Amino acid sequence: KQARAADRTRQLGERIGVIRAFNQSEDQATKDALTGLLNRRSTEEAIQRLQRDGTRFCVVYADIDHFKRLNDTYGHETGDRALRLFSRVLTDSLRPSDVISRWGGEEFVMILPNTSAELAKPIIERLRLAISENTGLGAVPAVTASFGIAECGPSDDFAERLNEADAALLLAKQNGRNRIALAGSLL
């Protein structure tokens, strides 16, 4: 009996190991290694699901202001800490149903389902303030971020709406950074 029990325990341990390895592989395939946020491919899949389901959403394109200067001044390790902190603020500040991803470098894309630009504006303003409040406290120098917002419908071309959000982000940066712009006009 003890031999069978030991064999079952060993088999169970092996199964748990396989499940852990599978989960780790899945995380590596869907998430950004540095921030733990969704990667670009996973975000695009989430957008396709939203559009298939007929869900309207806002696309928010965000960028940490003067990130290159932060890296050049304090080093890449500090830049990495800033990216992780920024990601944590995004996750803590947005709803569980929102899609948050590191799009590349210091750029982030957020998808806010069932949210118009008017509803997104105060949400993103609180997020912008939270970033300022949570940086400059120790290991991460004070940083700010700029945001561009565009609305996207179920039949819209997501790439076009993303480009509009990116153009709004550039407008926010041109108008002084640390601000929000709506596709087509500064907020």
Supply the pLDDT for residue 27: 47
Asked if residues 184 and 168 have their Cβ atoms less than 8 Å apart, the reply is: yes
Task: Kindly report the pTM of this predicted structure.
Answer: 0.83
Please provide the distance, in angstroms rounded to a whole number, between the alpha carbons at the two ends of the chain.
73
Supply the pLDDT for residue 168: 97
Supply the pLDDT for residue 12: 67
Among the options 106, 125, 160, 164, which is catalytic? 106
45 is catalytic: no
Asked if residues 138 and 80 have their Cβ atoms less than 8 Å apart, the reply is: no
Mean pLDDT, each 10-residue run in order, the chain (187 residues): 73 58 52 96 96 97 96 95 95 96 95 96 96 86 96 95 97 96 75
Residues 6+ apart with CB under 8 A from 64: 70, 82, 83, 86, 106, 143, 144, 145
Supply the pLDDT for residue 16: 58
Q: CA nearest 180: which of 140, 131, 141?
A: 131
Helix, strand, coil percentages (3-state) for the chain, rounded to 5, are 55, 20, 25
